[in-house]
Amino acid sequence: MFDESKKKFLLHSCCAPCSVAIIDELKDQFDLTVFFYNPNIFPLEEYLKRKTEVMRVCGDCKVPVVDMDYEADQWHGKVAEGLENVEEGGERCSLCFRFRLAKSAEYAAKNSFEFFGSSLTSGRNKKAEVINPIGQEFAKLYKINFFDVDWKTGGRQEKGSRIASTKNIYRQNYCGCKFSLPKNI
Ligand code: SF4
């Protein structure tokens, strides 16, 4: 990976297990800040649990975190309304990616970050070919750069699993919104 030391990078983190290897990789290459904006997560207790774990990882790595608001009603109105029964990976998920990446790009541009990226492509079922074009679109809109890596590649997923297990990081068993909860919960 190229040397971009000193450049400001805002990394949207969806959760700690998906982000830990990315933070470890980027913290030495960039002036890194982590951005927690995930109003999709339901219920509130789960949201707080995931956020606490991201804060813990960032504390260990000495990386600052921006803790955005839990705009769950806005997320529901703009993303899920009418799409409650759509299968995971469908239109609701694309809107969910857009919702979070739009806010990340807007914050990055307003706060003079040169790069932004997201841990979203780390997820086993998350397609980089869906997520990265959305990031590029907002990068263009806000005139910044999007780091369009598929974070599942290059052994990062395995590295993330190793670190997560060493640090005993909480690993959830569903994507995040109430519509992705396992049926037996
Ligand atoms: S399943 Fe995951 S990506 Fe899809 S809408 Fe729910 S939280 Fe968002």
Spell out the domain ranges in the chain: 8-180
Region 55-66: mean pLDDT is: 98
How many angstroms is it from 93 CA to the middle of ligand 1? 5
pLDDT value at 1 more than 60? no
CA 127, CA 129: separation in Å to the nearest integer?
Answer: 5
- What band does 22 get if pLDDT is binned at 50, 70 and 90? very high
pLDDT value at 62 more than 80? yes
| Closest C-alpha to 8, from 104, 111, 101, 114 | 114
pLDDT value at 5 more than 80? no
Q: What is the pLDDT of residue 4?
A: 52
Q: Is the CB of 18 under 6 A from ligand 1?
A: no
Q: Is the CB of 92 under 6 A from ligand 1?
A: yes
Atom 5 (ligand 1): residue with closest C-alpha? Answer: 93
- Identify the CATH number of the domain defined by range 8-180: 3.40.50.620
Q: Is the CB of 179 under 6 A from ligand 1?
A: yes
Longest CA–CA span in the chain (Å) reads: 47
Digit-coded pLDDT (tens) for 132-170: 999 999 999 999 999 999 999 999 999 999 999 999 999
How many angstroms is it from 5 CA to the middle of ligand 1? 33
The C-alpha R_g of the chain, in whole angstroms, comes to 15
Contacts of residue 183, Cβ cutoff 8 Å, sequence gap at least 6? none
Q: What is the pLDDT of residue 144?
A: 97
How many angstroms is it from 170 CA to the middle of ligand 1? 19
Instruction: Respond yes or no on whether the N-terminal peptide bond of residue 43 is cis (omega within 30° of 0).
Output: yes
Written as six digits, the tokens of 78 are 């703009």
